[in-house]
Structure formats: C-alpha cells, structure tokens
Amino acid sequence: MIQTIGQALGRREKNQSIRKGLDATAAKLLLLTALVSLLAVVLISLFIMAQSIPFFSEVPLRQFLFSTQWAPSANYPTYGIFSFIVTSIIVTLLALAFSTPIALSTAIYLSEFAQGKMASLLRQSIELLAGIPSIIYGLFGIAVVVPLVRNTLGGNGYSLLSASLILAIMILPTIINVSEVSIRAVSRELREASVAMGATRWQTIKGVVLPAAKSGIVSSIILGIGRAVGETTAVLLVGGNAPIFPTSAISMGRTLTMNIITDMSYAEGTHMSALFATGILLFAFILVLNLIVVSVSRKSRLESER
C-alpha cells in the first residue's frame, strides 16, 4: 500500500515537472514572438532614418517642413511639404467631423438599444465595411462622391471634401467597434444607480455611461485619426493629387501619403531621400498617436482602480 502511494506521488511530481517545463517553453516562445515584433519596429525605424539622412544633409529641416514649393524635377529642385501637411490635417479633421457623430450614435445604439436580428445585421455590416479594400472605396468615390460634390458645390469634384467623405466612411468601423466595447464595459451598477436616482435612460447614457467610457471613446477617435492619416489609395483617386496649397474644401490637394506613392516610382537620389524623410514624419505622427492611446488607457485604468 505504502509502495503504491509512493509510486503515485512520484508520477504526480513527474507530471508537475513536465507541466512546468512546458509552461516555461511556452513563455519563452511568447517572449520570442514579442521580441520579433519589437525587432521589426526597430529595423523599420533604422531603415527609414538611414535612407533619409542624405536628404537632411542637403536640405534644411526648416525649408522641408515649412516651404510650400515641391518641385523635385526642376533645374533647381525644391522640397517643401508644408502644403501636404496642411492638406493631410484638413482631410483628417473633416473626416472626423463627418464620421464621429455617426460612429458614436451607432455605438450607443448597438450597446444600449439594439437587440436580436437588427443588432446582428448592423454588426455584420460594420465588419463588412471594415473589410472592403481601399481601392473599392476609391472607385465608389469616383462614381458617387465626386459627381455629388461637383454638382452640389462646383469645381471638378476631385477635392479635399471628396477625400474626407471617403475617409469618413472608412474610419467608421474603427470608431464604432472600439467605442461600443468601451460603452459595454461600463458596469451595470452605475447604470442601475443612475436609474434609481430618477434619471431617464437617455440621461443615464449621457450623464453616466458616456463619461465613464470617455477614455475608450477618445482612444477610438485617435485610432481613427491614425487610419485616416495613413490611408493612400482611396484619397489618391478622389483628392485631385495636385501639389498645391489648398484654399478651400473643394480645392484639389495632395496628402503626405499621396505624395510618397506618386513620386516613388521615378524618384532617385535626393528626391528619394525626401520621400523617406516624409515617411519619418508620418511614422513619428503615428507613434505619437499610439503613445496618446496608451497614456489615455493607463490614466483610465488608474482612475478605475481608485
């Protein structure tokens, strides 16, 4: 009997040792995959910086950022991207202005009111919207948005407004999905306490739920900005792609990403380095956005722990 118990204990210790070894191996594999992701970011950063260094040795940073003259093929080349920066900002802000109210309203409806087949249909539609290739959005813009802008406001229709309308549609899924998850994460106790104090359902949503989900909503908007700034193909098809300083929403323009994809096919030497320098600016902007998302999330977590 005692021998049988001893054998059972020995097998148990052996099994525990095997499980510990498997856990340690799994942890190392997970660490390795995380390091691969980190290494990829570092290598991409170093590559872009190395390619852009020759440019900054020839063109002052001040001229590059604040000049509106982009003429890399001229006898005396100029590399100013200020007009592209302004165009990118205008298109992104207009896209946010169009998409944010719709996205937040949809997120509130899905998290607070939608039920059954209607909720399922809406979520499937949003998932489909997120999976449509950007070239399809661009073709839709050429066929529908550009004529609409041309017939309504004049011009040829290829404009910053057309690009922002397409971008607004494209970033809807990002803002809706993250906002809905954040709103759903608000505890039921807060809602019940608000209703118990005599608040209506809408007053509870406006005064309790949305403030509690504020960090997630802000994060969704920031992620939407990142998507809008990095989009290329769709805005290239409907934005006009003119390297000029925009004077109105119906003016043609060129964003930073449009400039890179337009010139990359024939650029060489300093011109190529200038495009990589533009990539550094975009990379830094996306990095700042990600840091803001992390900061907002951390602040929200600390506030909830208190």
Q: Is the dihedral of CA 173, 176, 181, 184 positive or negative?
A: negative
In a domain, 64, yes or no: no
Do 258 and 238 touch, CB atoms closer than 8 A? Answer: no
Residue 100: domain span: 70-305
Q: What is the pLDDT of residue 166?
A: 95
Q: Are residues 14 and 114 in the same domain?
A: no
pTM tops 0.95, yes or no: no
Q: How far is CA 272 from CA 77, 157, 290, in A?
A: 13, 31, 27
Nearest to 103 by CA among 25, 27, 173, 191: 173
In a domain, 63, yes or no: no
- The alpha carbon of 20 is separated from its chain's Cα centroid by a whole number of angstroms, namely 40
Q: Are residues 45 and 122 in the same domain?
A: no
Question: What is the domain count for the chain?
Answer: 2
- The alpha carbon of 13 is separated from its chain's Cα centroid by a whole number of angstroms, namely 50
Q: Are residues 24 and 128 in the same domain?
A: no
Q: What is the pLDDT of residue 3?
A: 54
Token pair belonging to 126: 């949003």
pLDDT 10s digits, 164-180: 999 999 999 999 999 99
Do 279 and 258 touch, CB atoms closer than 8 A? Answer: no
Q: Are residues 16 and 109 in the same domain?
A: no
Q: What is the pLDDT of residue 211?
A: 87
Q: Are residues 33 and 80 in the same domain?
A: no
In a domain, 62, yes or no: no
In a domain, 158, yes or no: yes
In a domain, 106, yes or no: yes
Nearest to 260 by CA among 233, 224, 287: 233
In a domain, 141, yes or no: yes
CATH code for the domain of 84: 1.10.3720.10
Q: What is the pLDDT of residue 254?
A: 93
Q: What is the pLDDT of residue 299?
A: 73
